[in-house]
Amino acid sequence: LNEGTDSLGRVALACAESKIRCSEPGTDSLGRVALACAESKIRCSEPGTDSLGRVALACAESKIRCSEPGTDSLGRVALACAESKIRCSEPGTDSLGRVALACAESKIRCSEPGTDSLGRVALACAESKIRCSEPGTDSLGRVALACAESKIRCSEPGTDSLGRVALACAESKIRCSEPGTDSLGRVALACAESKIRCSEPGTDSLGRVALACAESKIRCSEPGTDSLGRVALACAESKIRCSEPGTDSLGRVALACAESKIRCSEPGTDSLGRVALACAESKIRCSEPGTDSLGRVALACAESKIRCSEPGTDSLGRVALACAESKIRCSEPGTDSLGRVALACAESKIRCSEPGTDSLGRVALACAESKIRCSEPGTDSLGRVALACAESKIRCSEPGTDSLGRVALACAESKIRCSEPGTDSLGRVALACAESKIRCSEPGTDSLGRVALACAESKIRCSEPGTDSLGRVALACAESKIRCSEPGTDSLGRVALACAESKIRCSEPGTDSLGRVALACAESKIRCSEPGTDSLGRVALACAESKIRCSEPGTDSLGRVALACAESKIRCSEPGTDSLGRVALACAESKIRCSEPGTDSLGRVALACAESKIRCSEPGTDSLGRVALACAESKIRCSEPGTDSLDRVV
């Protein structure tokens, strides 16, 4: 906001002393004249220029971001960047391959000895280490002497993980599926004594002949048979999971299960309904006496306790003598929860909706004296005749009426929710509300705008003095505090004397946030883009001394002349050049990222990378297969002796 004006540009005396946001000295955030911003600080893009490239004296000494020595981040001349450091791709070259003396000594990333990560000649990589796929070959299958002694991953002796001849694997340990065979079923002498995973004695986990498994322990499904049903002598005495005596969990003949304990559904039958003598005396889950949980004949359930819905009937409505005396869930006396005849419920307590009737409205003598939920005296919660409710307490909407507007004598003196005196929350006549407290929107009116004498002195939410939050006449708001947009005006631009001294948000001195005249903003601070200019490039004297963001010495972040950036530091891509390849003396000594000795990360000549280390794929070659002397002694990852991980001769 500006001084003297609200957020919509209306006259607002109360904003006279408020503070505003300045874009630069003398101008608000929208570039309007703002005296209060005369001393504010702004954001500079470079010395002498604001963030939009406008003349900004206050930015004369600001620091900028340099791309390389002598040039800002956009390649413009920037003396202040003369000594800045840059990012090098390799010795003598910046990250874009431009000549960069400051990168002459920088270190680079090598792919292999003598070559950078892009396969270019890189003397600095002459001694670097590389990743080998197998002895004598790098990870790409190229000749790599440095990998001659490296270790590889073997699948079995004499063969790499891809089944290729690999002398270096002659003594290695591999993963065996069984003795004499690797995990892929190939001949593997080194596995002759190895331990493998057996499915049963004499056979591996895939059913192949495996002498080493002759004495091994396997997972048995039953005695004499493995988990796949194959002959397995080692399982002769093993313990298996039985479904019932004499049968395994899959229903196969299993002598070892003759005495085992199984899960029975009922006596004489397993959980699948098969004959199971071992279940003759077992305890099962019964639905009712003489029948299991599936309704099958189950003598063992003759005396069991079941879940009954009512006496003489199980939970499914079947005849169940054992339920003759059981307790069930009753809806009312003589009837179960489903309305069926239930003698056992004759004396039970049920849930009543009202006296003489159950919760479903059926005749229920047991409810004659019960307490029910009443909506009003003489009527239940559904409006039915309910003598038991004659004296009950109900929920009233107002005196003499229940919550549904029905006649309710018991509510004659009750307390209700009133919207205003003499009226209930629905606007109906309610004498009991004559003195009640209600929610008022403003004095003399309820929250719905109806006449409400009880609100004459109430406190309401005011938008401004003399008016409620809806703009209606509200005397009670005459002295209230409101939200002001500016002095003398409320947040909606209406006359608001109470706002005469309020504070507002200023965009710049003398102007509110919308550029309107605002005397109260005369001394506010603004945001500057550069000295003498606000964040939108407008004249702003208050920004005369502000600091800006520089892209390089002498230029702001947009390449405009900015004396304040004369000494700022910039980001260099390589010595003598900024990050965009422009001449930048300040980057003369900066360090760059090298891909290999003598070359930057893009393969450009970079003397500063002459001694840097690179990543090698194998001895004598970088990670891309280029000649790299620095990789001559490096180690690589091999797939097997004489071959790299891609089966190339090494």
Q: What is the pLDDT of residues 254-270, one digit of tens each?
A: 655 665 555 666 556 66
Per-residue confidence at 2, pLDDT binned at 50, 70, 90? Answer: very low
Buried b (16+ CB within 10 A) or exposed e, 178-206: bbbbbbeeeebebbeebebbbbbbbbbbe
Whether the per-residue pLDDT at 476 is higher than 60: the answer is no
- Which amino acid does the sequence have at 385? V
Q: Per the structure block, which two tokens stand in for 267?
A: 């006596």
pLDDT at 535: 60
Q: For 130-140, what is the mean pLDDT?
A: 63
Q: Per the structure block, which two tokens stand in for 111?
A: 């792919």
Write the pLDDT tens digit of every residue in 346-383: 655 556 665 666 666 666 665 665 555 666 556 666 56
Q: Give Cα 492 to chain centroid, integer Å.
A: 40
Domain ranges within the chain, ordered by starting residue: 13-170+254-631
Q: Enumerate the β-bridge partners of residue 467.
A: 464, 473
Write the pLDDT tens digit of every residue in 170-195: 555 556 655 566 665 666 655 655 55
Write the pLDDT tens digit of every residue in 28-54: 655 566 655 665 665 666 666 666 566
Q: Per the structure block, which two tokens stand in for 558?
A: 């947009």
Q: For 59-65, what is the mean pLDDT?
A: 60
Cα angle for residues 570, 573, 574 (degrees, 5° grid): 105
Cα gap 343→532, rounded to integer Å: 98
Q: For 118-146, what is the mean pLDDT?
A: 61
Count the Cβ atoms, other than its own, within 10 Å of residue 328: 19
Q: Per the structure block, which two tokens stand in for 118?
A: 């892009």
Lowest mean pLDDT among 34-38, 208-212, 632-636: 632-636
- Which amino acid does the sequence have at 562? A
Write the pLDDT tens digit of every residue in 384-416: 666 556 655 556 665 566 666 666 665 665 655
Write the pLDDT tens digit of every residue in 229-240: 666 655 665 555
What are the angstrom distances between the C-alpha of 486 and each of 3, 64, 402, 623? 8, 38, 50, 68
Cα gap 341→515, rounded to integer Å: 84
pLDDT at 1: 40
Q: What's the whole-model pTM score?
A: 0.16
Q: Per the structure block, which two tokens stand in for 150?
A: 């490296």
Q: For 429-438, what is the mean pLDDT?
A: 59
Q: For 420-434, what is the mean pLDDT?
A: 62
Contacts of 498 (CB under 8 A, 6+ apart): 14, 464, 465, 479, 480, 481, 482, 484
Conformation bin of residue 475: beta by default, left when phi > 0, alpha when psi is -120 to 50: alpha
Identify the CA nearest to 66 among candidates 82, 47, 43. Answer: 82
User: Of residues 9 and 485, which shows the higher confidence score?
Assistant: 485
What are the angstrom distances between the C-alpha of 52 and each of 75, 152, 508, 557, 563? 16, 59, 18, 8, 14
| HEC profile of 450-502 | CECHHHCCCCCCEEECCEECCCCECHHHCCCCCCEEECCEECCCCECHHHCCC
Whether the per-residue pLDDT at 422 is higher than 60: the answer is yes
Cα gap 110→138, rounded to integer Å: 14
- Which stretch of DSSP H or E encloses residue 335? strand 335-336
Q: Per the structure block, which two tokens stand in for 477?
A: 């708001």
Whether the per-residue pLDDT at 203 is higher than 60: the answer is yes
Whether the per-residue pLDDT at 4 is higher than 50: the answer is no
High-pLDDT (> 90) share of the chain, %: 0
pLDDT at 253: 63
β-strands 87-90, 591-592: how paired? Answer: parallel
pLDDT at 155: 59
Cα gap 314→336, rounded to integer Å: 11
pLDDT at 221: 60
Q: Are 127 and 613 in contact (CB under 8 A)?
A: yes
SS3 213: helix
Q: Average model confidence (pLDDT) for the chain?
A: 60
- Which stretch of DSSP H or E encloses residue 599? strand 598-600
pLDDT at 34: 63
High-pLDDT (> 70) share of the chain, %: 0
Q: For 216-235, what is the mean pLDDT?
A: 61
Identify the CA nearest to 442 among candidates 434, 451, 433, 429. Answer: 451
Whether the per-residue pLDDT at 70 is higher than 60: the answer is yes
Whether the per-residue pLDDT at 3 is higher than 50: the answer is no
User: Of residues 195 and 599, which shows the higher confidence score?
Assistant: 599
Whether the per-residue pLDDT at 563 is higher than 50: the answer is yes
